[in-house]
Chain A
Amino acid sequence: MNNNENMLSMFPRKLRKYWLVWWTSAKLSLSSNMATRGASGLFILGKLFRFGAFVYFLFVLGGGVNEVSGYNLSALIIFFLVFNLFDLFGQLFFRGIYRFRQQVVSGEFDFRLVKPISPLFQALTRHTDFLDIPLLLMVIVALVGNIDLVPAGSWWIFGLVSLAGFILITAIHVVVASLGVITTEVDHSIMIYRDLAMMARFPVDIYTDAIRGLLTFVIPIAIIFTYPAKAFLGLLTWENGLVAFGVSLLFLYISLKLWRYALTQYSSASS
């Protein structure tokens, strides 16, 4: 028994099985990236350019105006970094959703249903996007470099709303997968989520009350991206943190219910 297996033996059998499935598919994703190095390089360069250009734009903004909706340049950069942290999390681990539609419309999803692994887990994690890792590392390093901005009493709030953010991202991807089964329209649903998420590159305070309400309670983009950034800056109360965590659990519950319903609607077309 090697070290990896020794370590895994400590976990319950089911968890080990899922870990091994993810690990194997992640290795295959990495092999696929390595096989097309030129293409992977262009994707990474594009992502880095987009990130760098936006940070430069923030600096230009900071040079021309003192604040945007009460936030100075440093705060705006933190909002953008935290936005990237959570956005990249979804793209890195749940990239499989972008290829889910093809499985549904071709009937290939049938093969996922008969395997002894959750079809939802397969739909979401079938592909791990390692091309996001360079940018993710840069973002983490930049946030760690600014860690002194977090007030001592805000650490647990930041941790709590970050957890809420990760849960909500997972829930939204579950909803997208469900809509994919029901309507076969995954591509646009996930891109609409991405576009809505882009609205959180800046604090949601810049929007009107109606849009802010929509982005907080209907499609909780604000809780995913803006709340952790506010907690990082010590601007979020513990009450808001608890509400965010409660909302995330509620969303996850609803999304899983929707997924179960979606499976009953799967028509196995084209198979």
Chain B
Amino acid sequence: MSFGKYITATKVSWQAGFVYRLNFVMWRVRMVIQLLALYFLWLAITSKSPNAFGYDQATMLVYVLGSSVMRALVFSSRSIDVQGEISNGDLNNYLIKPLNYFRYWFFRDFADKALNIIFSIGELVVLFLLLRPPVIIQSDPLAWLGFLVMAPLAMILYYYFSLLISMTTFWYPEGDGWPQRFFVFTILESLSGGLFPLDILPAPVYSVLQNLPTAYFIFVPMQVYLGRIQGMELVGAIGVTVFWVLVLWWLARVVWHRGLKVYGAYGR
């Protein structure tokens, strides 16, 4: 199995990121605005209520800032274009080539994520210098190790999740798959823990949400980083994430093969 062509795809994607520089910078500006809105909201809340929802101010602000890095790592992707390729028939170009479509997009995503992560960390450094937030950097090596295991798993999990959303376009190509994507985006905003940590919700709601794969995109990795999930609980969290990765990987393969049977190559 040769990875050369996929590495080339990664390089091309990386270079493409620099072709549309203004586009990319504007995108990052948007991310910073979103981060600032969340940061100041939680700063205002925790200033008056230092231990609101079981988080002290430093822990909550680390959660907010760390979530922005997780967003860049997990949610940035080029494979979102898969839905357009299915709906306008461009998928044909790949079907006749000797490459694995899933692997091709995974490698292209990798370049996009690398670019976003680099900028995201740079932005955080600037914000740290400007805002001087009262945060504590994690000093427990086990928490770091757990986080470094969970973060790539979250990335892979979202990759298959996103592919599944794109593949609904096989059956519903209306609007290049954007209606489905928009609906999922709105749900992810709340269920991934990007807006607030899920454990601030009432216990019955939290017990449902923490078992969904969406909780493993941002919320659970950040809990691991904060040291709020440790020991056997951490092993369990990694196990559940691996379980969801395998489920979504298997589902993606099944849906892909079924989708190809109904694929009409419209627009070609």
A and B assemble together: yes
The answer on a CB contact under 8 Å between B30 and A64 is no
The answer on a CB contact under 8 Å between A68 and B45 is yes
The A contact surface, by secondary structure, is helix
Query: In this assembly, does B174 line the interface, its C-beta being within 8 Å of a C-beta of chain A?
Result: yes
The answer on a CB contact under 8 Å between B30 and A191 is yes
* Residues 1-60 of B contacting A (Cβ, < 8 Å): 22-23, 26-27, 29-30, 33-34, 36-37, 40-41, 43-45, 48-49, 52-53
- Tell me how many residues of A have a C-beta within 8 Å of chain B: 38
The answer on a CB contact under 8 Å between A36 and B174 is yes
Q: Given A57-B195, A196-B33, A46–B45 Cβ distance below 8 Å?
A: no
Comparing A37-45, A144-152, A155-163, A244-252, the segment that makes contact with chain B is A37-45
Q: How far apart are the CA atoms of A208 and B133 in the complex, in Å?
A: 13
- Mask: chain B, 161-188; 1 = CB below 8 Å from A; 0 = not: 0000000000010110011101101110
Comparing B196-204, B217-225, B232-240, the segment that makes contact with chain A is B196-204
Q: Given A38-B179, A65-B48, A198-B37, A46–B186 Cβ distance below 8 Å?
A: yes
Residues of A with C-beta under 8 A to B45:
61, 65, 68
Query: In this assembly, does A18 line the interface, its C-beta being within 8 Å of a C-beta of chain B?
Result: no
Residues of A with C-beta under 8 A to B175:
36, 39
Residues of B with C-beta under 8 A to A66:
48-49
- Mask: chain A, 12-50; 1 = CB below 8 Å from B; 0 = not: 000000000000000000000000101110110111011
The 8 Å CB contact of B40, one of A38, A49, A61, A207, is A207
Residues of A with C-beta under 8 A to B186:
46-47, 49-50, 53
Q: How far apart are the CA atoms of A192 and B31 in the complex, in Å?
A: 9
- Tell me how many residues of B have a C-beta within 8 Å of chain A: 37
Q: How far apart are the CA atoms of A165 and B184 in the complex, in Å?
A: 31
Residues of A with C-beta under 8 A to B174:
36, 38-39
Query: In this assembly, does A110 line the interface, its C-beta being within 8 Å of a C-beta of chain B?
Result: no
Q: How far apart are the CA atoms of A50 and B183 in the complex, in Å?
A: 9
Q: How far is the CB of A79 from chain B (nearest CB, A)?
A: 12
Residues of B with C-beta under 8 A to A207:
40
Residues of A with C-beta under 8 A to B41:
68, 202, 206
Residue of A nearest to B24 (CB): A188
- Mask: chain A, 185-200; 1 = CB below 8 Å from B; 0 = not: 1001101100110110
Q: How far apart are the CA atoms of A46 and B49 in the complex, in Å?
A: 32
Residues of A with C-beta under 8 A to B81:
none
Query: In this assembly, does B92 line the interface, its C-beta being within 8 Å of a C-beta of chain A?
Result: no
The answer on a CB contact under 8 Å between A206 and B44 is yes
Residues of A with C-beta under 8 A to B202:
60
The answer on a CB contact under 8 Å between B183 and A42 is yes
Q: How far apart are the CA atoms of A202 and B40 in the complex, in Å?
A: 10
The answer on a CB contact under 8 Å between B27 and A188 is yes
Q: How far is the CB of A161 from chain B (nearest CB, A)?
A: 22
Residues of A with C-beta under 8 A to B49:
64-66
The answer on a CB contact under 8 Å between A67 and B48 is yes
The answer on a CB contact under 8 Å between B33 and A39 is no
The 8 Å CB contact of B52, one of A45, A57, A65, A195, is A65
Residue of B nearest to A65 (CB): B49
Query: In this assembly, does A271 line the interface, its C-beta being within 8 Å of a C-beta of chain B?
Result: no
Residue of A nearest to B182 (CB): A46
Q: Given A60-B200, A60-B202, A191-B30, A45–B183 Cβ distance below 8 Å?
A: yes
Q: How far apart are the CA atoms of A16 and B182 in the complex, in Å?
A: 37
Q: Given A38-B179, A198-B37, A68–B26 Cβ distance below 8 Å?
A: no
Q: How far apart are the CA atoms of A206 and B44 in the complex, in Å?
A: 6
Residue of A nearest to B196 (CB): A57
The 8 Å CB contact of B172, one of A38, A60, A69, is A38
Query: In this assembly, does A263 line the interface, its C-beta being within 8 Å of a C-beta of chain B?
Result: no
The answer on a CB contact under 8 Å between B53 and A64 is yes
Q: How far apart are the CA atoms of A60 and B196 in the complex, in Å?
A: 11
Residues of A with C-beta under 8 A to B27:
188
Q: How far apart are the CA atoms of A202 and B29 in the complex, in Å?
A: 20
Q: How far apart are the CA atoms of A202 and B41 in the complex, in Å?
A: 8
Residue of B nearest to A200 (CB): B37
The 8 Å CB contact of A50, one of B37, B40, B53, B189, is B189
Q: How far is the CB of A57 from chain B (nearest CB, A)?
A: 6
Q: List the 8 shortest-distance A-B pairs measured between CB atoms, nearest first.
A: A188-B26, A206-B44, A42-B179, A39-B179, A46-B186, A53-B190, A46-B183, A65-B49
- Besides A47-B186, A49-B186, A206-B40, 6 more A-B contacts (Cβ < 8 Å) are A60-B196, A69-B48, A188-B30, A192-B30, A206-B41, A206-B44
The 12 listed contacts between A and B (C-beta, < 8 Å) are A38-B172, A42-B183, A50-B190, A64-B53, A64-B200, A65-B45, A66-B49, A68-B41, A68-B44, A192-B30, A206-B40, A206-B41
Interface, chain B (partner A; CB < 8 A): 22-23, 26-27, 29-30, 33-34, 36-37, 40-41, 43-45, 48-49, 52-53, 172, 174-175, 178-180, 182-183, 185-187, 189-190, 195-196, 200-202
